[in-house]
Every structure is written in C-alpha cells, then in structure tokens.
A and B are shown apart, each in its own frame.
Chain A
Amino acid sequence: MIAFLLAFFLAPAPDFEARVREVITHNARPASLETAGYQTIAAKLWLKEDPAWCSRRLKEILDAGPTGDMFWMFPVTAIAYLDQGQLTAEARQALRDSWRTYMPFRGDTENHWLLYYTSMYLMAQKYPGEDGSRWFNGKSSAENFREADEWIRWWVDFTTRKGQGEYDCTHYIGVYVLPMSYLAAWAEEPAMRKRASMMLEYLMADYAAEQLDGIYVGSHARTDDRQVLEKWYGISSDLGWLLFGLGYHSPHYGSYPFYYAVASAYEPPPILKRIATQRADGVLHKELKRTRHRWRFHEARNGEVYKTTYLRDAYAVGSDQGGLLQPVQQHSWDVTWKVADPRGIHNTLFTVHPYSGMMELQAYFTFAPDPATEMVYRSKKSYDSPDKLLGGSPYEQIFQDRDTVIVLYDIAPGARFPHINGFFSKDLSMLVEDASGWIFARGGDSWIAYYPLAPYSWKPIEGGGKRLFSPYLKNGAVVQAAAASEFASLDAFRAAILALPLEVRREPVPSVRFRSLRGADLRFTYGEQRDFSSWQLFDGPHLQAGRESGMLEMRHGGERRVLDFRALTITQ
C-alpha cells in the first residue's frame, strides 16, 4: 500500500497533451450539473459531449442575466468558438443577443482591458458586417474589431518595449495568458495569431526564468495576502504544472489555465521547457518592468521597475528597487526556499512597511479621496491594516547583490503606520536570535541571516509564524541567504556571517556597509542616487532583451530562440 501511495505521489507529471486533457476533463465533470456554469459548458463543448445539456444550461444562465463585466465576456467568447455547430440555434441566438443587451464594464486595469478587447475582437470577427444596433456599445462589428485590434497591438508593442505593467503576478499571469491563448487559436488574421502565440511565449518565458519548482519568485506587481505567504498558492503554480509539469496544481486547476487549455493550448517550445526545468545553481536574472498607468502626481505615466532575482537550487532571492511601484498588492522582496511539497507551507521571509494612503490610490485610480480606502478594503481586506504583509511603500528602498539584500526604511514622521513588519514563517525549522544582533534561520535547505537595523519585538500571526514588529522610522535589515550545502551546521553559518564586516547607522538616514558571503563590498544609503540607465528588459543567462527592443532572445546552452515583435518573426 505504501509503495502504491509513493508511486502515486512521486509519479512524474503526465505529458503536456495529457495535462491539457486532464484539466478540461476535470471541468467537464463537476459534482453537480444543476449549478454548473460557463466553464463546464466550455469543457463539454471542447470534449464534444452532451450538447443538449450545454444548450439548455447556457440558455438558462443567459436568461438569468449576464453579470461580471469582462469576466463574463471571456467564458462566453470561448463558448461561441467551441460551439462548432453543437449548440441549438436558440442557445446560439441567446448568446449572440447577450452582446446587444448587456453592457460589460471595460474596467480600469490592463488585465481587464485585455479580456475586454480580446473578447470584442473575437466576437466582432465572428459576427462581421453587423451595424451598431446589434452591439451593446452602438458600434458596428467593423468599428469594434478595429478598436480591439488597435488596443491589443498597442499593448503588445508597449509591453515588449517598456516591460509589462502588471508584471509577474501570481494570480493575474493567468489573465494575460488566457487572451493570448484565445487569439492564438481563434484570430483569423495570421499576423494576430502569430503575435498572440509569440506573446504567449514571452509571458511563459518571463515566468519560466523566475520560478522555483513552479513557484513564482521575486518581486510581484500583484499578489495577495495568502499567496505572499503560501507561495505555491497561485494561478502561476497551476500554469507551471500545466505548461512544464512543475510542482503542484490546485484542486480545480484554476479557471484561467482551463480557458488557456480549451483555446490554443499552445505548447511551450522545447527551449522554454529547458529553461524552466534545467537551470544552473546560481542564476542572476534582471528585468525591467513598468508601473501601471499613473494618472496623478507623477510626470511619467509609467515608472520603471528594476527587478533582480537570484536563483539557486535550494532558494531564490528577489527584489525591486523599492518605493510605491504598484497599488495595493505590490510585493517588493523576499527569500523563498524550496520545499518538497509547498502546499500549506509558508516558505518565505521578507519585510514591509505597511503603507496606505491617498497618494497611492489617487495616483493609480480615479477614486475620490474619502471613501477610497474603504472601497479598496472591500476586495483587499488587509489594505489599511497596520499588521499587513502586502504592499509597497514610498519609504522603502532595496538593494540586492545576488543572495544579499539590504532593505532600508526612512518613514516620514506622521505616517499612518510608523513601523515595519517582518515575516518569519511557522515553517522555519530553526530561528535563533544571536547576541551579535543577527537572527539566524533555516528554511528547507537554506540558511538565512537577518540583521535588523533597529530594535524589535515579536507578534503572533494568525495562521502561524511571527511578525517582527519594529516601531522605528529609520529602519531596515541586512539579509544574507546561503545553501545548506555550503555550511554543515548553524554554527558554521553563524561563524561565517559574523566574520563579515558590517557597519550600520540609522542617522541621519539609514545606511549599511557590508561584505557579503560572496565577497562583495556592498554600500547602500537611503536616498542615494542610483543609475539604472543600463538596466535591460531582460538580462540573464536565459533571457535577453534590450530596452525598447520589441524583442526577446531565449537562451539555453547553445540553443537560441528570438522573438521579434516588430517583424513578427521567430528565429531559432
């Protein structure tokens, strides 16, 4: 029995086609068909089973009234394309009519718009030559198609020249992969199909180069309160399993990967599989991203985000430069260690300054000032909490050299929450507060040394672990990670760290001088000017792309694959 269970749990992931079928089949067989929704209909249509039920149920749902805005548009679009003569004329007509009688909100983020315009593109393509009276927005099929086409092409061009806006999101990566999968499968224009399939590779490559056994690591434009601790718990992990057979998928496989599967199910090229699964121990990877659109308080609509991620077999260390780079859900730096089964495990360590305020919300949104925080709180419960572990701060600056991070805070007097929070996981197997001032920890097969710049106390965290609470405006930490294989014991790691020269001061501004375990003399002072002008869109052993290039070169061993979005070519 034990042997059977071991064989079951240790079995390698099935191949790509089998994984695709597994995702779709799972969704076609819900516990109850009574309450099944669009996803089940799409799955059954893909499998070409039970069309009578699909027609009946589709009509019932549409008759009840569409809801969900752009999140309604994409499943209905998939059904329109998966129909292929299976639905009854009545159900098909109900689907068509819903695009006349229901007006979806276009939303206020790029992921909303990508869903909206991809759906408009495909539905206008499916129903060409119709006048404005047939569409909710009063525009003809031709007008809708042209507008959607223009915006999608703008987004691809902007992203491949400036970097992605909602970059490296543990959840929203699915929202970007899905529309590209739709267009790669269903766009009739060859150039759009090509553009979309190249963009799929681009998004997959972006993820493949920055994951640890499927877990998306490094800084994120958006993650959430659970995923920032339980690093595995994201759509990105579902995609990692589906695309590359990495790690673990969620019980329901994720809705966005499902729709990716029923559309193009575009299989990553072999070089991407190798980048995702065959990596050296010690890879330094840098990326240039951008902020979302900032409507107020900034001269540049999209600020630049400079990411550094260092990946080893046992752990990864990642960061951005700090500051308020994204609204509400930014995650700026952490150490993530590898574990055999990450489900339910908090395999990470990081700090934040819990910031919330109008400068953030009014920069990125059109909110009126007074109810803005409350409106954010409705869907982002931790936003205005002093205990939160998610979000960027204008008072945070970060420097990273391989597996060393120096994070500094100079919190303005009068700031709403004048302290920093450090996350110390319940899953650290060792945590020692040393008389030297260093805190030594072990997570998985990684050592972590953490030197706090200011006094602190510990507070419990609901769900386990401890929060380092440090109520000092001038604050920060020095963090050094290492592999367990480098040091045989805690004593050996401790001795190595204590031998490293370290100078810290908090006045007049926080400043650190530290020689890292890797022999680098590091100096970092809060507020110092840093030159990022040479930072490229992608700069690492596996991905290369210059600023404004509109290109991406993938590398593995002697293999090369170049995506050129201006010429719409792939060269290998």
Chain B
Amino acid sequence: MRWLLALALVVSAAGEGRPELHACVVNAKAWVVGARLTGSGLVKLDANREWQQLGFVHPMVLAADYDRQDPSTLYLAAGNGLIRAKDGGRSWRITTGWDVTELQDVTVDPNTPGTVYFTHTTGIRKSSDGGDTWQAADAGIAEKYCETLRADQSRAGHIVAGCVNGLHRTTDGGASWQRVGAEGLQIRRVAQSPHQPMEWLAGTQGGGLLRSVDGGATWEAASDAAVDRNLYDIAYDPTTPGRIAIGGWSTGVLVSEDNGKSWERRSQGLPRWDVWSLAFDPSQPGRLYANVHEEALYVSEDAGRSWRIAGLEGAFIYRLYFFPGGQQ
C-alpha cells in the first residue's frame, strides 16, 4: 500500500511534467499592511530556475493545493478569501465572500473529485463543486480556529485538522468531527506519510511532534525532538522512505532517517534556526528546501547536511509545495 501511494505520486507527477516548486511567500522584510510589495503571493521556480509570479501580488497567500483532475487549477488560502487560480495559477477568482477571512490552509480531497476544504478564522468550509459554492463543515469542533488541515490521500472523506485546541478528524467528509488528541495544544501543521498512509505527524505550538499510526484516529508524542518549540512544518521525502524533515522556531532543520525514531539537527549553513517551511524535491532524491525567516530560501542537495541560498532573499515563505509541472 505504502509503495503504491508513493508510486502514484511519482507517476502522476511524471505524467504531468516534472514537479515544480511553488512558494506561498511574502517577499519583503518588515512588511506591514499598506506597504509596497513585490514578488509576493504565489510564485514558482520555472525550468530556467527563475522565480515566476503567478497571479496577483498578495501579502497573504498562506497555502495552496491543486485540482487532481485539472492540475492547472490551484486553490489558494488567502487573506481575501479562497482563490481559485486557473491557467497554472495566473487567472484568479475569489470564490468566497465577506463571511470568511484570513484563510489559513486548504486541501483537496484527491479521492472525491471537486471537493475542497479550507480553514479560516472561525472554522472549516467545504466545497463539493470545485469552489463554486461553500458550506460550513466544522460540526463537532468546539473551538473553531483551525490553522491547518490535510485530506487523507488514500481514503475519501477522511480529513485531519489541527485547531486551537487539539487535533480533530472527520471520516464523513466534514459532516462531523471528533477531537482525536492534543487537547490543550495549538496545532500548526499536519502531514501524512506518502509511504505509509496510516501514518501522520502533527507539529504543535510548544508541544513538540505528535504521531498517529492509525490514520489519525489516535495520537501520541512522536519524539522528544523540539518538544518545547513551535513546529511550523513537516516534510516527508517522497523518494526515500523513512526520511522526514521538521522545522520550527529556534529548531533549525531536524532530519530523521529512521521514520522519526531519531533526529539530527542539520542546519549547517543556515543563518539562523527559525524555519517556516520545508519541502523535499520528489524528482531529486536528497534535495531539500527550507525557508529561514525573512532570510531566504535555502536548498540542500544532501538532505540538510549542507545548505546554499536558492533565492527569495528576505522572504517569509508560509509554505513550499511541489505541484505537477508543465502547467504553462
């Protein structure tokens, strides 16, 4: 099962062209509302290793996902609402109204065509028609502020959400949610293993790393790595089972080669240890990207053992993704 999922990702990406690195970014140090901004929002690294702006400059594109049936359509969780970006991200339409703001995360259910979820300041919304219409989908979550959510890549209608008070899961497409762990903790990121789909990790605010091995039904502390830190991102290496990277504030980049049993800090060459976002390149084993807060995007060719600047100097990158390429 685990290899099938990883293979599906690689085949899917290969069929659609080499995966391309996308970044949700604010590319200006010390930005405040109203200040001039360039090169921010959604950008991607093109085949010529140049950064391309996709769509409008926007200070608050926090997360993205792509339509599995039409990978040239992206969904962006943004300050102004949920943006459906067609033509490889260039043509935007805000599909929500005044009743939601400051979206935090978005996820597409790959097993239910047209189904998208996002988190915002007061809960979770769901669309079943590719973003044309949205309905509240957070029944059962008492404290609605949710920072992150991820659709299970192997089971339709299974979603894990990380909220202001713990981890929540739905198995019925958002009709009902149950708190499944981490009570009292704010959750900052959840991630599913591409190799073992029942395995999930969650990064917390001050509570370290949590793990589930039953598809998000139950959770326990994963390790003592960064236990008192705020973890901002988790990246599984799709090319190398067992390799995971995590990053947060004052943690630098921590890498495990044994599926989280042990962790090694691999931050040599990074200017500071405040890490926002991470992504392994699915087409280049060992290549890992990391954003250091308002410093730059860094890349390592040896799974974090050494780093060099990869552009976007001064940037604060909320998220890094590899989306199918060739969407010109």
Least CB separation from A138: chain B residue: B93
| Inter-subunit contact B121/A295 (CB<8 Å) | yes
Give CA–CA (A368, B32) in the complex, Å.
15
Give the interface size class of chain A.
35 or more
Q: Is B47 an interface residue (CB 8 A)?
A: no
Chain B residues near A296: list those with CB within 8 A. 143, 145, 164
Least CB separation from A137: chain B residue: B94
Chain A residues near B164: list those with CB within 8 A. 296-297
| Given A138-B93, A370-B274, A105 and B98 contact (CB-CB distance below 8 Å) | no
Which single member of A67, A68, A71, A106 contacts B79 (CB below 8 Å)?
A106
| Inter-subunit contact A108/B93 (CB<8 Å) | no
Q: Is B122 an interface residue (CB 8 A)?
A: yes
- Quick check: which of A147-155, A273-281, A424-432 contacts chain B, the rest being far away? A147-155
Give CA–CA (A103, B293) in the complex, Å.
25
> B56 to nearest A CB, angstroms?
4
Q: Is B195 an interface residue (CB 8 A)?
A: no
> B93 to nearest A CB, angstroms?
3
Q: Is A418 an interface residue (CB 8 A)?
A: no
| Given A106-B79, A379-B32, A67 and B58 contact (CB-CB distance below 8 Å) | no
Q: Per-residue 0/1 for B85-109: is the Cβ within 8 Å of any A Cβ (1 yes, 0 no)?
A: 0000001111001100110100000
Q: Per-residue 0/1 for B17-29: is the Cβ within 8 Å of any A Cβ (1 yes, 0 no)?
A: 0000000000000
| Inter-subunit contact B36/A67 (CB<8 Å) | yes
Q: Is B205 an interface residue (CB 8 A)?
A: yes
Q: Is B37 an interface residue (CB 8 A)?
A: yes
> A145 to nearest B CB, angstroms?
12
Q: Per-residue 0/1 for A109-126: is the Cβ within 8 Å of any B Cβ (1 yes, 0 no)?
A: 000110001000000000
| Inter-subunit contact B101/A108 (CB<8 Å) | yes
Give CA–CA (A112, B79) in the complex, Å.
12
Chain B contact residues: over half helix, strand or loop, or mixed? loop
Q: Name, among A107, A113, A117, A293, the residue most crowded by chain B CB atoms within 10 Å (CB to CB).
A: A107
Q: Is A85 an interface residue (CB 8 A)?
A: no
Chain B residues near A108: list those with CB within 8 A. 33, 79, 101-102
| Given A69-B33, A366-B102, A105 and B97 contact (CB-CB distance below 8 Å) | no
| Inter-subunit contact A68/B80 (CB<8 Å) | no
Which single member of A151, A293, A369, A375 contacts B205 (CB below 8 Å)?
A369
Least CB separation from A132: chain B residue: B93
Q: Is A530 an interface residue (CB 8 A)?
A: no
> B270 to nearest A CB, angstroms?
16
Q: Name, among B84, B98, B121, B205, the residue most crowded by chain A CB atoms within 10 Å (CB to CB).
A: B98
| Inter-subunit contact A368/B188 (CB<8 Å) | yes
Q: Is A371 an interface residue (CB 8 A)?
A: yes
Which single member of A105, A293, A301 contacts B80 (CB below 8 Å)?
A105
Chain B residues near A466: list those with CB within 8 A. none
Give CA–CA (A102, B36) in the complex, Å.
12
| Inter-subunit contact A370/B33 (CB<8 Å) | no
Least CB separation from A107: chain B residue: B33
Q: Is A139 an interface residue (CB 8 A)?
A: yes
| Inter-subunit contact B121/A366 (CB<8 Å) | yes
Chain A residues near B32: list those with CB within 8 A. 375, 378-379
Give the interface size class of chain B.
35 or more
Q: Is A487 an interface residue (CB 8 A)?
A: no
Chain B residues near A147: list those with CB within 8 A. 97-98
Q: Is A417 an interface residue (CB 8 A)?
A: no
Q: Is A136 an interface residue (CB 8 A)?
A: yes
Task: Give chain A interface residues in 361-377, CB to chain B under 8 Å.
Answer: 366, 368-371, 375
Q: Is B60 an interface residue (CB 8 A)?
A: yes
Least CB separation from B97: chain A residue: A147
Give CA–CA (A113, B101) in the complex, Å.
11
Chain B residues near A297: list those with CB within 8 A. 164
> B265 to nearest A CB, angstroms?
18
Which single member of A71, A137, A368 contacts B34 (CB below 8 Å)?
A71
Q: Per-residue 0/1 for B33-68: is the Cβ within 8 Å of any A Cβ (1 yes, 0 no)?
A: 111110000000000000000001111100000000
| Given A103-B58, A117-B98, A138-B94, A295 and B145 contact (CB-CB distance below 8 Å) | yes
| Inter-subunit contact A368/B232 (CB<8 Å) | yes
Q: Is B212 an interface residue (CB 8 A)?
A: no
Chain B residues near A117: list those with CB within 8 A. 98
Least CB separation from B95: chain A residue: A138
> B105 to nearest A CB, angstroms?
11
Least CB separation from B30: chain A residue: A378
Give CA–CA (A138, B97) in the complex, Å.
12
> B97 to nearest A CB, angstroms?
5
> A497 to nearest B CB, angstroms?
46
Give CA–CA (A63, B91) in the complex, Å.
22
Least CB separation from B79: chain A residue: A105
**Interchain residue pairs with CB less than 8 A apart (7):** A67-B36, A106-B80, A107-B33, A108-B33, A137-B93, A296-B143, A379-B32
Given contacts A102-B56, A150-B98, A301-B122, 11 further A-B contacts (CB under 8 A): A68-B36, A71-B34, A103-B56, A105-B60, A107-B79, A132-B93, A138-B91, A138-B94, A154-B98, A295-B121, A296-B145
Per CB-CB distance, the 9 closest pairs between chain A and chain B, nearest first, are A138-B93, A103-B56, A370-B249, A151-B98, A67-B36, A137-B94, A295-B121, A379-B32, A106-B80
